[in-house]
Amino acid sequence: MTPLHAKSTIEEIRTRFDGEVERFSDLNTGQEAAMDSVAVLDVIARAAAARLAPGARVLDLGCGAGNYTLRILRELGSIDPILVDLSRPMLDRARARLAEAGVPRVTTIQADLRELAMEQGSLDAIVSGAVLHHLREDADWEHVFSRLHLWLRPGGLLLVADLVVCDDPALNRVMWDRYGEYLVRRGGEAYRDAVFGYIDHEDTPRSFPYQLDLLKRVGFRFCDVLHRNSLFGCYAAIK
């Protein structure tokens, strides 16, 4: 396992995603390296529609090519989106897709989420798709979760879909084995090894209990898991 000090830099992660726009641009398949990605898109969108009104101001962290925002738009009919990503090509594709879908105004911000600044209480919802696993030390997680809570209005909604691990080593091995079997079915052993390689080098995922406990500590009044399959899942929290 790659130690924290040797993990990919932000610039290295940005460079990889700059070249992978097409892989993140299909609502029908989602991000195919993630288990149940289409189902998770649906869960996130329906959860957003259950809590938000049309025109809601939604921050999409690590928006990629815009899949989560587009699915929420399909459910709500109208939104006021703010798109944040490390990758300018991802942001450009997301903006273009939302314009094609009829969204008249799209705000895009190229930034590392740890350095992002938003106005306190200015957001109806925050969506984070496959981005939090790039956080490193506990201090990173605590800083970001505190900021997410700060930016939401009272009653605001946080929706997270991500790679997660198990805190118990034996159960964690089971989850990794299941994910490896999924990847082999999708693309063979070389594909599995390539995905495992960049996860090891880039990512530092945390468990559901770690994240849900932290959400409560920073002030969220409700949080719960909405879906899980092996190492992938999503959860909701309400301020």
In sequence order, which residues have a C-beta less than 8 Å from that of residue 99 and are 6 or more positions away?
106
Higher per-residue confidence, 2 vs 174: 174
The band of 18, judged by pLDDT with boundaries at 50, 70 and 90, is: low
Task: Output the CATH code of domain 4-238.
Answer: 3.40.50.150
Q: Which helix (H) or strand (E) holds 235?
A: strand 232-238
pLDDT > 70: what percent of the chain? 98
Q: Which helix (H) or strand (E) holds 47?
A: helix 37-51
pLDDT > 90: what percent of the chain? 85
- Per-residue pLDDT reduced to its tens digit, 117-156: 999 999 999 999 999 999 999 999 999 999 999 999 999 9
The Cα–Cα gap between 27 and 36 comes to 13
pLDDT value of residue 12: 77
Outline where 80-202 has alpha helix (H).
88-100, 138-151, 169-187, 189-202
* 3-class secondary-structure state, position 188: coil
Which phi and psi angles does 204 have, rounded to 5°?
-140, 70
The Cα–Cα gap between 64 and 88 comes to 9
Q: Are 130 and 34 in contact (CB under 8 A)?
A: yes
Residue 120, CA atoms < 13 Å, CB-side half-sphere:
2
The band of 25, judged by pLDDT with boundaries at 50, 70 and 90, is: low
Whose CA is closest to 195, among 169, 232, 140?
Answer: 232
Output Rg (C-alpha) for the chain, integer angstroms: 17
Name the residue with tokens 């925050």.
Answer: 126
Which phi and psi angles does 238 have, rounded to 5°?
-125, 130
- Per-residue pLDDT reduced to its tens digit, 64-118: 999 999 999 999 999 999 999 999 999 999 999 999 999 999 999 999 999 999 9
Q: Mean pLDDT, the chain, as a whole number?
A: 93
